Amino acid sequence: MSRHPVPDPVGPGEESVWDYPRPPRLERVDGRVTIELGGEVILATDDVVRVLETSHPPTYYVPEADFVPGALTPAAGSSFCEFKGAARYFDVHGGGGVTRERVAWCYPDPTPGFRELLGRVAVYAGPMDRCILNGVEVEPQPGGFYGGWVTPGIRGPFKGGPGSLGW
């Protein structure tokens, strides 16, 4: 891809990630998120917010308290987002003893514009059995660094794939 990607065409009812703002915007979602791991539902909630940022599919945040007990355990390491602040990570545990390491994160002290993320967790879709938004299984954002969820009606191209580092 070029250093200046050309946005995909957008039809009625669709969103282009190139219309999302930078710095990012946080918004409530009218919908349901279900996450499955190890053949079990580890989260089902209607309390959902998403973060929208230029070139990224939305990242969905759900209440930490809505995960089944024991599904999240603190993991080593941290990272920093210039907009949201310092992140900490979780290992995610599902049925049959399945564990995925460092595949969820939160912001324990989010910056003022992102205070609604306090007590919320985002999960990488790829390592889960399934992440479902409003009855539709999501696709993970390309690459292994970003945590966006690709759903029908979200148009790219998306940051994270080959050639997108300089976007």
Splitting the chain (167 residues) into consecutive groups of 10 residues, what average pLDDT does each group show? 81 97 96 98 98 97 98 96 97 98 98 97 98 98 92 96 85
Three-state DSSP state, 112 = helix
Q: In the prediction, which pLDDT does 165 show?
A: 81
| CA geometry: angle 50, 21, 77, nearest 5 deg | 55
Q: Of the candidates 146, 40, 145, which has an alpha carbon nearest to the alpha carbon of residue 93?
A: 40
